[in-house]
Amino acid sequence: MMRILFALFLSGLTFASDSSPNSPDSLTNVMPMPAVMQRHPGTLKLDSSFTLGTIGYSDARLERAVQRLQSRIEGRIGVELPLVVTSNGRAATLSIECVAAGFAYPKLGEDESYSLEIGAQHATLKANTVVGAIRGLETVRQLVSADQRGYFLQLVSIQDKPRFAWRGLMIDVSRHWQPVDVVKRNIDGLAAVKMNVFHWHLTDDQGFRVESKRFPKLQGMGSDGLYYTQEQIREIVAYAADRGVRVIPEFDMPGHTTSWFVGYPGLASGPGPYHIERKFGVFDAAMDPTQEETYRFLDGFLGEMAQLFPDEYIHVGGDENNGKQWTANPRIQEFMRKHDLKDTAALQAYFNQRVRKILQKHSKKMIGWDEVLTPDLPKDVVVQSWRGTKSLADGAKHGYSGILSQPYYLDHMAPAEYFYLSDPLPDDSDLTPEQAARVIGGESCAWAEFLSPENIDSRIWPRNAALAERLWSPRDVRNVTDMYRRLDPVSVGLEQDGLTHESSMAKMLRQVTGTQELGAVDVLAKVADPFGVSYREELLVETQLTPLTHISDAVVPDAPFRRQFAALVDQLLNDAPNFSAKREVLAQNFRQWRDLGPGFLAMETRAPILAGCKGRVRDLENLGAAGLEALIHLQSRIAPPAGWKEASLALVNEAEKPDESMLKLSWLPSYRSLILAAADVEELKVANPQQWKQQVMQEAAQQEPPAKYTW
Amino acid sequence: MMRILFALFLSGLTFASDSSPNSPDSLTNVMPMPAVMQRHPGTLKLDSSFTLGTIGYSDARLERAVQRLQSRIEGRIGVELPLVVTSNGRAATLSIECVAAGFAYPKLGEDESYSLEIGAQHATLKANTVVGAIRGLETVRQLVSADQRGYFLQLVSIQDKPRFAWRGLMIDVSRHWQPVDVVKRNIDGLAAVKMNVFHWHLTDDQGFRVESKRFPKLQGMGSDGLYYTQEQIREIVAYAADRGVRVIPEFDMPGHTTSWFVGYPGLASGPGPYHIERKFGVFDAAMDPTQEETYRFLDGFLGEMAQLFPDEYIHVGGDENNGKQWTANPRIQEFMRKHDLKDTAALQAYFNQRVRKILQKHSKKMIGWDEVLTPDLPKDVVVQSWRGTKSLADGAKHGYSGILSQPYYLDHMAPAEYFYLSDPLPDDSDLTPEQAARVIGGESCAWAEFLSPENIDSRIWPRNAALAERLWSPRDVRNVTDMYRRLDPVSVGLEQDGLTHESSMAKMLRQVTGTQELGAVDVLAKVADPFGVSYREELLVETQLTPLTHISDAVVPDAPFRRQFAALVDQLLNDAPNFSAKREVLAQNFRQWRDLGPGFLAMETRAPILAGCKGRVRDLENLGAAGLEALIHLQSRIAPPAGWKEASLALVNEAEKPDESMLKLSWLPSYRSLILAAADVEELKVANPQQWKQQVMQEAAQQEPPAKYTW
């Protein structure tokens, strides 16, 4: 693992370099953090005299990337740049020296490295491949900075390359359809943070989303008309390739295949007819692995798809087949006996082998979810783990390459720091270096039970940028505070690329309320995260046809309020025994919550869709009142009356429970500290307030209920 | 003109109907206001039992419109509706009875009328044509309301039809390119407010935006690659027709044609070579009207376009040819002498006649700007007036049909009420009924010197909805307060249709500042409108290539603060002699402005693009300080010292001047009233405070400098 070196020289004074690899002092906004980066004193002026040109190899793909950089910088600084993409850039301020094209279509393991040297007069970006240059151009963009004299590039020496070769995002477009422009802007997002795989979950029980000309009833009867034409697929694949992003299509089988059977019931193991599934979950429908016709069909279909998708991998899913249709079908049972297949897992292994051979015939490699990993599976199959690092490590020990996905399920709504700190090779990994090398990356997963074109971006970004850094940057880049600091400007950059994650919440709240005057709804939305998918499926009955227009669909995961509130409480408690720091800000929040009821009721009257949030509003009213009391006890250093602590903690526990609002108050751990501090205020020894604070925080941590579902 | 009748019956009590045609008591959000509408007591419940079906004629276009209504209502109320589009809707809650298809492609003068009867159990929408039904479905959507019992439709009897047959929006896609999705969402906006013409300004000096297969160098060399393919054109035309919106293409000629000449310099009257114009304004380049080759070319090109665009009209521009190339060309001068053409206007008349014959050959009617109206022009040519109602009336007197555009130039950034109160047939019109009938409508114009895909929606909407009402509703529907009240929910509905006018400002400000913490920039942006195009072109040097990412590009015309501030001042002065109403709110604003400098400087340091706003920030600081002084004088009723009034008014005058920030403080008239009230506070007689206020307001109105450019 390479270490990051910072050399900070500020206006004449020379500071020793900070030994911490992620010191916030470095104050660069680059994300993911480069493998090796040195900062230098001075700046490279960025004004209308700044030019940009290529040296050596260039092609249309590289030129388009340079033009994208140009237009993004122009937009940022508000000045037209007379940038000229030339075949001889010697005179340019930024020279891009590319050695060769690399692969026309990006390939697993392709050289993505680059070096970047920005000096006070001139900058040079060097790369062996166009994809490497594209990665470096994203870094240049993030180095744009400014002071009172104007815009400039920060001076740096960077040697960069990714830690993992496979850095992806999966989007499920089956459970909810996403139009072409949504897919494209998310590919832009991937490129902006140097991710290189778009995994397209195209088929599932709830919809078949790709046009087959050979078997037109697949999309014709299995999609409600919501599918990508082959022309659109080609357009998206080219769009992604232009940005150095591979497109891996997934055709989930033998389970998760109801939508195939609407048009082709003969493929199924149970009797039809079949209809597009509107509900979510695991269904019985599975392909019949005992009929040769199934494999003839798959040969035809996968052969067609192999032509359409240029990537060397095709994902065949393989997950969550419950085996019920197989067990219930006497003919299939007979087949298993005849072929000595002990159980349905063995039958699925047989199916996998057959499918793999079909892929091989069409010159494709296979990737599948954990379940494909069965004895005798050839070693060129890549395993995507939804079961976690242990399953992934087991595969690696048996010689299989794998990518990690389980901690990266975006629909569980974990904060960015959770993704950030979840390493594909955890601290306690017992893999040998050779085995560890088989862990080739990871993928976040945007499962789409509750994704609409309106809110999908906010469920992916900016959290996905934290994962991008986890997968690209050195293992020891893991300073959460600095990650969040950089996430703000990175998020704004992603919005420039067309993503809607920063604007969707306000827009959706206007739709919820029917007005621009959001009032109490705004107060509520700002302090709430959405609960994860597991809680939601447990509590609410929803289908593919349920409108995704409630507040819980609008509010964003990892909302900044959690961190803001934690900082306020922290500063207040650090100010013991006076407790005046931030007290008024906290009190303002608490008063606003305490008095939220009437305003919310007025909104609910005009927008009954808000009715489910009543309970959570009542929680906020209670927490506001108790919070104000806590502040008074801290300020006066007079302990609250008997029972206050228990009553207040009961309010917190109540507010922590999922309810039909599906609004999660993710700052409650900090609030609990505040309550305990107030309850324990008389134990505070003025001589050692930090020790007291420590105790309070520990007590609060112990009180926290365990999460029912893992993130 | 039909009058609007309101019959309001509230929970048992019967009120006499309000004689004012636009009483806010009516509290319906319908916009444009129907020709005749009666309100009834009670509600029609809107929940999961609500169904929707067609009776009689139905077709795919109608069914798609019904499905759009379904999905918008579902989104609004958050409940899946089991709406079934049936060919026999007798059992449905809302029956749509359509008599016949009408025109497959919408046609000028088509019957757009509908009637809507919503009762407590059942609703019926009747129309003679599918387009009429589509108009009625938009009304149904706007009647969705709610109270503590849930969502419902308001009970009404409506007989509706448009006042004018031609109700359009022109978008210039030449000066700045707009992608397909921007065009589509604006067509959705038109349909939402019952407008029926999308006028597509496709060619101009700065770009040729339509694919010609016959003359591929037109778009090939004249567009920077930014043009609509014929497939995209067909897609957009079909999209518009589906919503009852006609698409009129404009090919501006003989002037505004530089982009044609880049590929075909032989068409021009002056020597080439030509390049795409990057600057704005009127240029000399003009087609050569003396060569038969010009007409052969136009015959080929317009013949091709006549196939592509199904509308019976083609717009040929005709505006702002300065005649310089014609005068400078001896061959053209010779031609004019030979044909007895007295001046370049006569030559252009000759050109128009030839072009009209070509259009006629291709079965198209001609429409052009004022300048096409020359003696001997056939009466079937429609004239679009950019010169105003007088020019339009002159045409009508001479027998020409015309549409009004001059007061409806969106780029002049007038408030919605200006469009709203500008009638195509003004109060002082001296037209006979027969002549008045030739005024067939109007069009707003989105000229694109400063339009980007990011900000275009905010320059069109929601102001365009006010014009939609002007052109659809009876002449005497002109209550500005009620218009603005309805504009809020209508604007939210437009956002549901995909328009970005409500979200673009915050997004663009994040790009300006590079962060989500907008701070002082937010304060500034909320109180500012953009100056109109004339001021901007006078003060700044900008081209097609200048990035449109300054604050002035982000802030929105007719920002609500103007009306909010006016209401605050009004309430304060109405509260004479105490002056306590709203005083604290005003003081909060003033303090925020007075102290704006340091925060703004900090933002400017990180975002030097803000530098041009320094002066306007200083204005706000001064106005904040003087405003606080004014409040003190009012409260104390002690006159300010000598010179205070003049000094304060000088600050206002300074703040009113356009500067490089291009930020207009459109609330300054109200602020001036406040200053004058403070200066004249000792003249206030307690017995008659209203008279005093009247005088203050009059004095303020007199002090207002005349606008340099008309709106």
DSSP one-letter string for B218-279: HHHHHSTT--B-HHHHHHHHHHHHHTT-EEEEEE--SSS-HHHHHH-GGGBSS--------S
> Would you say residue B8 has pLDDT above 60?
no
Structure tokens at A548: 């995704």
Q: What is the pLDDT of residues B538-588, one digit of tens each?
A: 999 999 999 999 999 999 999 999 999 999 999 999 999 999 999 999 999
Give the closest of A78, A515, A608 to B609, CB-based. A78
**pLDDT value of position B419:** 96
Structure tokens at B153: 């439709």
Q: Which residues of B are catalytic?
A: 320
Tell me the shortest Cα–Cα distance from A438 to chain B, in angstroms: 39
**Contact in structure between B326 and B348 (CB atoms under 8 Å):** no
Percent with pLDDT over 90 in chain A: 91
What value does the mean pLDDT take over residues A543-563? Answer: 97
> Would you say residue B670 has pLDDT above 80?
yes
Please provide the average confidence, as pLDDT, over all residues in chain B: 93
Q: What is the pLDDT of residues A354-367, one digit of tens each?
A: 999 999 999 999 99
> Would you say residue A342 has pLDDT above 60?
yes
Q: What is the pLDDT of residues A136-163, one digit of tens each?
A: 999 999 999 999 899 999 999 999 999 9
Tell me the shortest Cα–Cα distance from A488 to chain B, in angstroms: 6
Is the Cβ pair A150, B608 closer than 8 Å?
yes
> Would you say residue B266 has pLDDT above 50?
yes
Quote the CA–CA distance of A527 and A590 in Å, as a whole number.
Answer: 12
Q: Can you tell me whether residue A81 is helix, strand or coil? A: coil
> Would you say residue A10 has pLDDT above 90?
no
Structure tokens at A545: 């046809």
Interface residue ranges in chain A relative to chain B, Cβ cutoff 8 Å: 74-80, 146-151, 181, 488-489, 491-492, 495-496, 502-503, 506-507, 510-512, 514-517, 543, 545-547, 549-550, 604-609
Cα B509-B512-B517 angle, rounded to 5 deg: 60
Is the Cβ pair A492, B608 closer than 8 Å?
no
> Would you say residue A696 has pLDDT above 60?
yes
Tell me the shortest Cα–Cα distance from A527 to chain B, in angstroms: 17
Q: Write the CA distances from B255 to A707, B258, B319, integer angstroms.
A: 70, 8, 7
Quote the CA–CA distance of B421 and B403 in Å, as a whole number.
Answer: 16
Q: What is the pLDDT of residues B614-624, one digit of tens each?
A: 999 999 999 99
Is the Cβ pair A506, B511 closer than 8 Å?
no
pLDDT band at A199 (very low <50, low <70, confident <90, very high): very high
**pLDDT value of position B707:** 80
Phi, psi of B422 (to 5 degrees): -90, 105
Quote the CA–CA distance of A78 and A142 in Å, as a whole number.
Answer: 16
Which chain A residues are Cβ-neighbours of B606 within 8 angstroms? 146-147
Q: How many CB atoms lie within 10 A of CB B507?
A: 20
Question: Which residue in chain A is spatially nearest to B142 when comparing CA positions?
Answer: A514
Which chain B residues are Cβ-neighbours of A604 within 8 angstroms? 148
**pLDDT value of position A87:** 55
Please provide the average confidence, as pLDDT, over all residues in chain A: 93
Q: What is the pLDDT of residues B476-508, one digit of tens each?
A: 999 999 999 999 999 999 999 999 999 999 999
What value does the mean pLDDT take over residues A647-658? Answer: 97
**pLDDT value of position B9:** 26
Quote the CA–CA distance of A381 and A175 in Å, as a whole number.
Answer: 26
> Would you say residue B86 has pLDDT above 70?
no
pLDDT band at B633 (very low <50, low <70, confident <90, very high): very high
Cα dihedral B687, B689, B694, B695 sign: positive
Which chain A residues are Cβ-neighbours of B78 within 8 angstroms? 512, 547, 549-550, 609
| pTM over 0.90, yes/no | yes
**pLDDT value of position A91:** 78
Q: What is the pLDDT of residues A406-439, one digit of tens each?
A: 899 999 999 999 999 999 999 999 999 999 999 9
pLDDT band at B708 (very low <50, low <70, confident <90, very high): confident
Structure tokens at B421: 């109160």
Quote the CA–CA distance of B313 and B364 in Å, as a whole number.
Answer: 5
**pLDDT value of position B65:** 97
Q: For chain A, what's the residue count?
A: 711
**pLDDT value of position B85:** 58
Quote the CA–CA distance of B341 and B362 in Å, as a whole number.
Answer: 27
Tell me the shortest Cα–Cα distance from A496 to chain B, in angstroms: 7
**pLDDT value of position B89:** 52
Cα dihedral A430, A433, A434, A437 sign: positive
Interacting residues of A479 by C-beta distance below 8 A, sequence separation 6+:
A20, A21, A22, A24
Which chain B residues are Cβ-neighbours of A80 within 8 angstroms? 543, 545-547
Tell me the shortest Cα–Cα distance from A608 to chain B, in angstroms: 5
Q: What is the pLDDT of residues A19-50, one digit of tens each?
A: 333 333 357 899 999 999 999 999 999 999 99
**Contact in structure between B496 and B189 (CB atoms under 8 Å):** no
Phi, psi of B158 (to 5 degrees): -125, 135
Q: How far apart are the first and last CA of chain B?
A: 27
- Best interface-test mutation with A: which of B28, B500, B511 has the largest number of A CBs within 10 A? B511
Give the closest of B146, B496, B511 to A76, CB-based. B511
Is the Cβ pair B516, A547 closer than 8 Å?
no
What value does the mean pLDDT take over residues B438-461? Answer: 98
Burial class (CB in 10 A: 0-12, 13-18, 19+), A259: buried
Percent with pLDDT over 70 in chain B: 95
- Best interface-test mutation with A: which of B564, B609, B660 has the largest number of A CBs within 10 A? B609
Give the closest of A78, A547, A607 to B74, CB-based. A547
Quote the CA–CA distance of A448 and A459 in Å, as a whole number.
Answer: 10
Q: What is the pLDDT of residues A392-411, one digit of tens each?
A: 999 999 999 999 998 999 99
Quote the CA–CA distance of B95 and B133 in Å, as a whole number.
Answer: 11
What value does the mean pLDDT take over residues A107-126? Answer: 97
Query: What is the count of residue pairs from A and B with beta carbons less than 8 Å apart?
Result: 113
Which chain A residues are Cβ-neighbours of B607 within 8 angstroms? 146
Q: Which of A74, A117, A312, A320 is catalytic?
A: A320
Cα dihedral B58, B64, B70, B76 sign: negative
Which chain B residues are Cβ-neighbours of A147 within 8 angstroms? 605-606
Q: What is the pLDDT of residues A568-583, one digit of tens each?
A: 999 999 999 999 999 9
